Amino acid sequence: MSPIASNDGMRPWRLLRAALCVFVAVCLLSPLVVVLIISFSSAPFLQFPPPGLSLRWYMLLFSTPAWMNSLLVSVELLVPSSILATIMGTAAAYALVRGRVPGAPFIMACLMLPIVVPGMITAAALFGVYRGLGLNGTLTGLIIGHTVLNLPYVVATVASALRVQDARLELAAATLGAPPWATFRRITLPLVLPAVLSSLLIAMILSFDELIVSLFVSSARVRPVAVQMWSNLMGDFDPTIAAIASVCFLFAFLVLLADLALRAGRSLRLT
């Protein structure tokens, strides 16, 4: 720090900056911490601080068929939709970045649209079109919707990883006589694998959390966790919701840690 920059005139600003950072930190984290604590409450209402601790809301959660059923539906939904989106998105990103495709920037922009268009519009549109096809209230309908919503994240993540990789490595393999598929499998894929796995994780999280399309397309029988939470929230809040929210939070937190580990591995390999 130079003597000029650290003169006393800056001190109040530094204090203000620190205070605002602490305020933002509290705003971002306190809700999550409070929900975690309340989920272990022994009281039948969302009281804070809780009068005592218990696991009764977790027991209730895991013994209520509606919640268990919705957890199952969520898994049946997020596994295929995240895998499909990852395969389709990786293939598309590879073609757009490495292939000589006319209008590649335009196609890329179109593939990003599901992020830009507000969720309510996508949800209403799918609901409307599904009515004629009998897809509302089916797992297939949900999987199709979630795959489309996940696609942009996969394409963006994999495309940016491909742009960083040296295309000449593939060219060298091809020159040495490797067929295109072998070049992809032995050279390209290992290089971008961390990005592909990272986008698979993102897709899983997004699918698990997605509410608006699920709200329109699901039914009482095929109802993912997010919709089950929503319908409970419209009634009375009770600590079961805090328990399921904590489960969701834990799931996201673990996936984030896995993703950070993947990214750390990737940057190590680059240097």
Q: How far is the CB of 262 from other proteins (least distance, A)?
A: 14
Question: Is the Cβ of residue 1 or residue 176 nearer to other proteins in the bound state?
Answer: 1
Q: What DSSP state is assigned to residue 137?
A: T
Angle between helices 225-233 and 189-209 (to 10 degrees): 30
Please, are residues 81 and 206 in contact by the beta-carbon 8 Å criterion?
A: no
- Is 230 a residue that touches other proteins (CB under 8 A)? yes
Binding track over 24-53 against other proteins, x by CB under 8 A: xx-xxxxxx-xx--x-------xxx-----
- Is 94 a residue that touches other proteins (CB under 8 A)? yes
DSSP letters spanning 65-104 = HHHHHHHHHHHHHHHHHHHHHHHHHHHHHHHHHHS--TTH
Tell which positions 135-174 bind other proteins, by CB under 8 A: 144-145, 147-148, 151, 155, 160
Task: Give residue 104's identity as a one-letter amino acid code.
Answer: A
- Is 20 a residue that touches other proteins (CB under 8 A)? yes
Tell which positions 194-223 bind other proteins, by CB under 8 A: 205, 208-209, 211-212
Q: How far is the CB of 8 from other proteins (least distance, A)?
A: 10
Nearest Cα to Cα of residue 217 among 135, 121, 119, 114: 135
Return d(Cα 192, Cα 79) in angstroms, integer.
Answer: 21
Tell which positions 60-89 bind other proteins, by CB under 8 A: 87-89
Return d(Cα 96, Cα 98) in angstroms, integer.
Answer: 6
In the list 189, 220, 256, 261, the residue contacting other proteins (rule: CB under 8 A) is 256
3-state secondary structure (DSSP) of residue 134: coil
What tokens appear for 226 in the block?
Answer: 């997010």
- Is 119 a residue that touches other proteins (CB under 8 A)? yes
Q: How far is the CB of 94 from other proteins (least distance, A)?
A: 6
In the list 113, 167, 171, 182, the residue contacting other proteins (rule: CB under 8 A) is 113
